[in-house]
A and B are shown apart, each in its own frame.
Chain A
Amino acid sequence: MNRPAFLASFERFAAPGRLVALVGTALLLAAPMLPWAYRPALDDMTFWFAPSPLQWCGLALTVVLLACLVLGWVVRPQGRRSLGRRLNFNRGARAAAIALLAFVAVVLVASALELAGLVALEPGGWLALAGAMLAASGVLTLPRGEEPTLRTLRSPAWLQILGIVLALAFVLFVAAYGLDLDDPGAFFSFGVWAGVVVWVAAQVGLLGWLSTAAGQNRSVLVLSAFVVAFVFPFTQNGSDANMSIAAGVLIFAATAMGLNIVVGLAGLLDLGYIAFLGAGAFTAAVLSESAFATIGWSPPFPIVVLISGCVSALLGLLIGSPTLRVSGDYLAIVTLAFGEIFRISMNNLDGTDGPNLTRGSNGIPAIPNLDFFGFDFGSPHDIFGITIGRFANYYWLLLLVMGLIILVFTNLNRSRIGRGWVAIREDERAAEAMGVNTFGLKLLAFAGGAFLAGVAGSVKAHVDVSVTPDQYIFLESAFLVAGIVLGGMGTVGGVLVGATVLKLLPEKLRFFEDYRLLTFGLLLVVMMRFRPEGLMPDERRQLEFHDDDEELADEVADDVAAHRVGSVVEGTSAEPGSGATAKGDHR
């Protein structure tokens, strides 16, 4: 194989580079034992020999770096099935060192910002920075090597399930600990740490193995994800403030998931989706037992949910049937306008300009809490000695709504209808020639998505206590779309991640509220440039954005085949090879 000359010269320095990195690692190991700051900043990093939580986080990453450096030295990548090929330690070391540099830098900058400036930093912090810089410059000389192939390892089911459980336990830990961090700097640093841990896992090859394991144990994954989401309130020590944020994230994520059917599957860009959430919320508010409700009829909540969904779906049909005949940009413009029309109409249905339905900009306040069979959502309950407050109650209800929407989404995605949607997204005319009723299917996506938003809205009305038109502005629709794009269109996991990031960051990082739009705009531009398929892309989507990459295509095809058959073929699947020979025969 021809290697560029400069690469060879780099590799000559591999051994010194590794030594430099090891020295840096040693400094990084020592640094948490020293104080980093003069006064408590992010967390209390002022003690000798008593690392703070954030310092422990750094220490954990350092141990990973050390392990990668040593193992990369000892284990040679010989043979395609060797450990060195399965796991790429050099890539892991690179990622870990760079991640540590980023993490330490963020911690130091955040500390300096919260304290008097750089003078407030103690030698420990500088030592950590020096160590991280040494390690990072050292690992840059290491050869990168090939993609790790742990993904294709055949492993026993118990190990896969264990891996999934451990990964989800990590997610639970990150979510529970992160949400409880009140200090913005600490929260941001911890967020960076969680992000880089995932990145390092991806570089070593662990993430690939996990995704294979998840693909083969889908029910285990779903079940344990649900359990993690379910026990989450117990980790918050009865803090209702935290749970209110969590409930807000869930509402946002559930709405984004509904929009994901419209945008991600059917490819219809809807920029006014928030209006459907609003329609559901207003319907539920008007039909509630609030003293301000303008209709004197308040049916039981399950019926309200259905009515809310239907009202939204009806609006969807109304707006969809004339506009879905046009395509692309026109639809985006019309839906954008529809969102604004909805908000303005809700403002104007106040009795002076029209019938009094929504009480105008005052909205409908004092929406009473739900009460199912004597279970009052408004009052706290003690379970296992932990107080489950009002928002935790609603969190569980929202979890149910979320489960419903995900269920609808995944079933549609796999169904004949889902295939029709994807075909419409790919080539509408060709889909029509195949006998796909394109208009009908698009309308179904539109109205179905609206129905789910209406359902989510009906719960949101009770969570928020009051419903006003200014909660349903265009910006919210834009954020919903941004969440989907950020995470990965047409996926469940990606949209969950994207929605969580977009909703959680502004909640926890109040100080950057003024720069929220700027930051998200930048984030999206960067994403479009470097990872247009989203953080957790759909396999099909990945191809869409990198369709010149044949290797990736084979990989994706193998993955899909493996998922279908239910077992992973060892190494590279035999299929592409035999396909290639058959191809040769025909030529």
Chain B
Amino acid sequence: MLEVKDLVVAYGRVQAVKGISFTVEQGQIVSLLGTNGAGKTTTLRTISGLLKPVSGEIWFEGERLDGVPAHQIVTRGIAHSPEGRRLFPRMSVEDNLLLGAFTRRDAAGVRQDLDRVYGLFTVLGERRNQAAGLFSGGEQQMLAIGRAMMSRPRLLMLDEPSMGLSPIMTQTIMRTIADLQAEGTTILLVEQNAQAALQLSDRGYVLEVGAITFSDTGAALLEDDRVKRTYLGVDL
């Protein structure tokens, strides 16, 4: 579904992503793991068109994606819930969600999806007219995911959905991600919480300073010594 080939992205002269390649298959959950500065967020931002790659190709459903402006990428079926949530804090919950559906013209479908998000995250529905900035971190994360869902994406990219959340809240979010996959959404996940992410993932890629060092199925990576030592904090 999504294919990234030899992607190089640079901020000025500093290369943040140094020629990575990976694929995401239809219906999968794929995780990108790595420490801070490994290039995970940069990769997502490049896929969603917010950054222009230096070289390499991005293909989505058989169409070339690099070079397409950001606002058209959403129309192609990719939604991006950015790092740090980036909600519109002074706009209401409902306005935030409607912005997620900005590219859509089918009012009835949008209404339906709005109800779906409110059904999924009841807090949002109860306080739909309140400013998003007044919600707790976990609720804001729900809103960020809900907002990304509003464009009815075929590929949903989530950047650190568990950041700053309590363990219980993280579980809720992870369960939601699994539910979304069950409904047929393909998910590309960037996470620091490797344990939680790999349990869900069909496949995981480990990034180190801009390059993919190894990859495997989620289950296999959970058992991998290198992953255990570096990301799961297991002392071997």
Residues of A bordering B, CB below 8 Å: 416, 419-420, 422-423, 426-427, 429-438, 440, 540, 543-544, 547, 550, 553-554, 556-558, 560-561, 564, 575-576, 578-579, 582-583, 586-587
Taking the complex as formed, is B56 at the interface, i.e. its CB lies under 8 A from any CB of chain A? no
Q: Which of B20-28, B30-38, B119-127 contacts A (4 or more CB under 8 A)?
A: B119-127
Q: Which of chain A's residues have a CB closer than 8 A to the CB of B55?
A: none
Query: Using Cβ atoms and an 8 Å threshold, which residues of chain A touch B103?
Result: 435
Least CB separation from B133: chain A residue:
A547
* Cross-interface CB contact of B90 among A436, A547, A582, cutoff 8 Å: A547
Give the residues in chain B near A543, CB-CB below 8 Å. 90, 131, 133
B91/A557 in contact, CB under 8 A:
no
Q: Which of A422, A553, A586 contacts B134 (CB 8 A)?
A: A553
Given A433-B50, A553-B130, are A583 and B139 neighbors across the interface (CB < 8 Å)?
yes
Contacts of B127 in A (CB 8 A): 557, 575-576, 579
Query: How many residues on B have C-beta within 8 angstroms of the other chain's C-beta atoms?
Result: 42
Question: Is the Cβ of A433 less than 8 Å from the Cβ of B80?
Answer: yes
Residues of chain A lying within 8 A (CB to CB) of residue B161: none
Q: Find chain A residues with CB under 8 A from B80 CB.
A: 433
Q: Bound state CA distance, A556 and B72, in angstroms?
A: 34
Given A557-B130, A586-B169, verify A434-B100 contact (CB < 8 Å).
yes
Contact between chains at B131 and A557 (CB < 8 Å): yes
Residue B226 at the chain A interface, CB threshold 8 Å: no
Is A430 within 8 A of B88, CB to CB? Answer: yes
Q: Given A419-B98, A423-B91, A433-B50, list of 8 further CB < 8 A pairs?
A: A416-B102, A426-B91, A427-B88, A432-B50, A437-B71, A547-B131, A575-B126, A575-B127
Q: Is B70 an interface residue (CB 8 A)?
A: yes
B163 contacts the other chain (Cβ, under 8 Å)? no
Q: How far, in Å, is A581 (CB) from chain B's closest CB? A: 9
Can you pick out 22 interface pairs between chain A and chain B where the beta carbons lie within 8 Å of each other? Answer: A423-B102, A427-B86, A430-B87, A432-B50, A433-B50, A433-B86, A434-B74, A434-B102, A435-B73, A440-B71, A540-B91, A543-B90, A543-B133, A547-B90, A553-B131, A556-B131, A578-B126, A583-B136, A586-B136, A586-B138, A586-B169, A587-B138
Judged by a CB distance under 8 angstroms, whether B202 is at the interface is no
Q: Which residues of B contact A564 (CB under 8 A)?
A: 129
Point out the residues of chain A lying under 8 angstroms from B164, CB to CB: none
Query: Which B residues form the contact surface with A (CB < 8 A)?
Result: 48, 50, 69-75, 80, 82, 86-92, 95, 98-100, 102-103, 122-123, 126-127, 129-131, 133-134, 136, 138-139, 147, 151, 166, 168-169, 172
What B residues does A416 contact at CB under 8 A? 98, 102
Contact B71 A586 (CB under 8 A): no
Find out whether the CB atom of A436 lies under 8 angstroms from the CB atom of B123: no
How far is the CB of A578 from the nearest CB of chain B, in Å? 6
Of A423, A433, A560, A586, which is within 8 A of B129 by CB?
A560
The listed residue (A426, A435, A558) touching B89 by CB distance below 8 A is A426
B236 to chain A, nearest CB (A): 35
Q: Which A-chain residue is minimally distant from B100 (CB atoms)?
A: A434
Q: Chain A's nearest CB lies how many Å from the CB of B73?
A: 7
Nearest-CB residue, chain A, relative to B69: A437
Which residues does chain A contribute within 8 Å of B87, judged by CB atoms? 430
Question: Are A561 and B129 in touch, CB under 8 angstroms?
Answer: yes
Contact with A434, one of B72, B147, B169 (Cβ below 8 angstroms): B147
Q: Whole-angstrom distance from the CB of A575 to the nearest CB of chain B?
A: 6
State the CA gap A426–B96 with chains docked (Å). 11
Q: Is the CB–CB distance between B102 and A579 below 8 Å? A: no
Residue of B130, B133, B151, B172 ringed by the most chain A CB atoms within 10 A: B130
User: Measured between alpha carbons, how far is A579 from B134 in the docked complex, in Å?
Assistant: 12
Q: Chain B residues with Cβ under 8 A from A550's Cβ?
A: 134
> Cβ of B88: which chain A residues have Cβ within 8 Å of it?
422-423, 426-427, 430-431
In the complex, the answer to whether A554 meets B130 with C-beta atoms within 8 Å is yes
Are B90 and A435 in contact (CB-based, < 8 A)?
Answer: no
Q: Residues of A contacting B172 with CB < 8 Å?
A: 586
Bound CA span A423–B136, Å: 21
List residues of chain B with CB within 8 A of the CB of A438. 71
Q: Which 4 A-B pairs have the closest CB atoms?
A: A435-B74, A430-B86, A435-B103, A579-B127
A582 vs B48: C-alpha distance in the bound complex, in angstroms? 34
Residues of B within 8 A of A576 (CB): 127, 130
Report the minimal beta-carbon distance from A32 to chain B, rounded to whole angstroms. Answer: 48
Task: Please measure, in the bound complex, the distance between the C-alpha atom of A440 and the C-alpha atom of B103, giving whole angstroms.
Answer: 13
For the complex, what is the distance from the CA of A429 to the CA of B48, rounded to whole Å? 11
A436: which B residues are within 8 A, CB to CB?
Answer: 71, 99, 102
CB within 8 Å for A579 and B126 given contacts A435-B74, A586-B172: yes
Tell me if A579 and B130 are in contact (CB < 8 A). Answer: yes
Question: CA separation between A400 and B124, bound complex, in Å?
Answer: 42
Verify B122–A430 contact, CB threshold 8 A.
no
- A430 proximity list for chain B (CB < 8 A): 82, 86-88
Give Cα A558–Cα B129 distance, bound, in whole angstroms: 8
Residue numbers in B under 8 Å from A553 (CB-CB): 130-131, 134
* Contact in complex: A582, B95 (CB < 8 Å): no
Is the pair A422, B92 in contact by a Cβ cutoff of 8 Å? Answer: no
B105 to chain A, nearest CB (A): 9
Distance in Å: Cβ of A533 to nearest Cβ of chain B: 12
> Do A426 and B50 contact each other (CB < 8 Å), given the known contacts A431-B99, A434-B99, A557-B131?
no
List the B side residues contacting A586 at CB < 8 Å. Answer: 123, 136, 138-139, 168-169, 172
Q: Is the CB of A420 within 8 A of B90?
A: no
Q: CB-nearest residue of chain B relative to A541?
A: B90
| Contact partner, A544, options B90, B95, B129, Cβ 8 Å | B90
Question: Once bound together, how far apart are the Cα atoms of A578 and B127, in whole Å?
Answer: 9
In angstroms, Cα B85 to Cα A426, docked, is 14
Min CB–CB distance A576 → chain B (angstroms): 7
Whether B74 and A560, one on each chain, are in contact in the complex, defined by CB atoms closer than 8 angstroms, is no
In the bound complex, do residue B71 and residue A582 qualify as a contact, i.e. CB atoms below 8 Å apart? Answer: no
Chain A residue nearest to B93 (CB atoms) is A557
Q: In this complex, which of A427, A440, A544, A564 has the most chain B Cβ atoms within 10 angstroms of its Cβ? A: A427
> In whole angstroms, what is the CA distance A579 to B128 when docked?
10
Q: What chain B residues lie within 8 Å of A434 (beta carbons)?
A: 74, 99-100, 102, 147, 151
Chain B residues lying within 8 Å of A547, measured Cβ to Cβ, are: 89-90, 131, 133
In the bound complex, CA of A440 to CA of B70 (Å)? 12
A216 to chain B minimum Cβ distance, whole angstroms, is: 16
Docked complex Cα distance between A564 and B99 (Å): 19
How far does the Cβ of B32 sit from chain A's closest Cβ, in whole Å?
17
User: Nearest CB to that of A547 among chain B residues?
Assistant: B133
Is B102 in contact with A419, judged by CB distance below 8 angstroms?
yes
B138 to chain A, nearest CB (A): 6
CA distance A556 to B134 in the complex (A): 12
- In the assembled complex, which residues on chain B have CB atoms less than 8 Å from the CB atom of A422? 88, 91, 95
In the complex, A556→B91 CA distance in Å?
A: 11
Q: How long is the Cα–Cα vector from A438 to B95 in the complex, in angstroms?
A: 17
For residue B52, give the distance in angstroms from its CB to the closest CB of chain A: 13
